[in-house]
Structure 1
């Protein structure tokens, strides 16, 4: 369910970059193979990163699609599956090498800093119950994406929450897990506010 890496973000960027170097168009299934189909948190980190980055999450329908993938991943985490299953039509979704490189370059800038800021701390929180709670929280955040499409930059906030959930699991960082919960609460607050003013 997690990986033992000192720099999980940089490691994932490196793996995806190797795929991008060899292909003019990259399918999501190829990204899954590179990251590891048995590492739910790593794949969730990728989904959260795409939502967090400026550009992709602003396209109509993209936040909902990414939210659906996040729900699939977290649901399978809760079901204790050994490896990830994603529908073929999602696996075949493609992105150009240029766009992939652009996203990786954008993510590479803060990657080393983010990896350096994470640590195995408050590990007493990172038990099975907490990880399951984070998975449920990520599902709830992902379920809000249809509403977030109508709120500028809110999908990026949801992506930040999902990204933080995944990184907390990978790094066994209980403090980051708490921060991720705070981001998710802010996301829910934004959704609630949107309903209140509409």
Structure 2
């Protein structure tokens, strides 16, 4: 099983032969991997140097929130509003983000998998969606503190990873990180 590496490869292939890639094309490319990947990848992009560009963390949080609302509503097919789907990401920045994500994906494929799946089975995705919406709401105000938005986005990565890899151990860790993120956001709140 190489789920995480396959997702990173798909992300890399989405940018192949182009100078810029639309967010909608990226979502379409990885959408078949499931809801966890759609939650995880925009949040993981925020943890790379791309997240240091003013406004990008908020746009990425909006993308994640769009997917979280759809999960909460029980949708199977995910979509992006056109104003988000048409946003473009520079190939160089996307390549750099993919390079940063690849070692983590390789590690995840080696060490994670079906453990304590009762923590990731229904209704877990809907409960996670509520937690993710709360985390996304903290991102715009946290942008005034450089890289502070990485706290909630890192937690979203854990939730997405747990759902993607179907690993309840990661889900338990994500809930601990959620509590820590809420505390961290509270202390950093401008």
Q: Give the structure-1-normalised TM-score.
A: 0.88
For 2:81, which of 65, 87, 93 is the aligned residue?
87
CA contact (8 A) 1:50 1:56 kept: yes
CA RMSD of aligned residues (A): 1.7
CA contact (8 A) 1:161 1:184 kept: yes
Indicate the residue corresponding to 1:72 in structure 2: 66
Contact 1:56 1:62 in 2 (8 A): yes
Q: Which runs of 5+ in 2 are unaligned?
A: none
Q: How far 1:37 moved relative to its partner? A: 6.0
Any conservation in 2 of the 1:37–1:83 contact (CA below 8 Å)?
Answer: no
Number of aligned positions between the proteins: 190
**Structure 1 outlier segments of 4+, above 4 Å:** none
The TM-score with structure 2 as length reference comes to 0.92
SS where residue 95 of structure 1 aligns? strand
Give the conservation status (yes or no) of the 8 Å contact 1:51–1:156: yes
Equivalence for 1:21:
16
Give the one of 144, 147, 152 matched to 1:158.
152
Q: CA deviation at 1:157?
A: 2.1
TM superposition shift of 1:38: 7.8
Distance apart, 1:115 and its partner CA: 2.4
Matching residue of 1:175 = 169
Question: 2:110 aligns to what?
Answer: 116
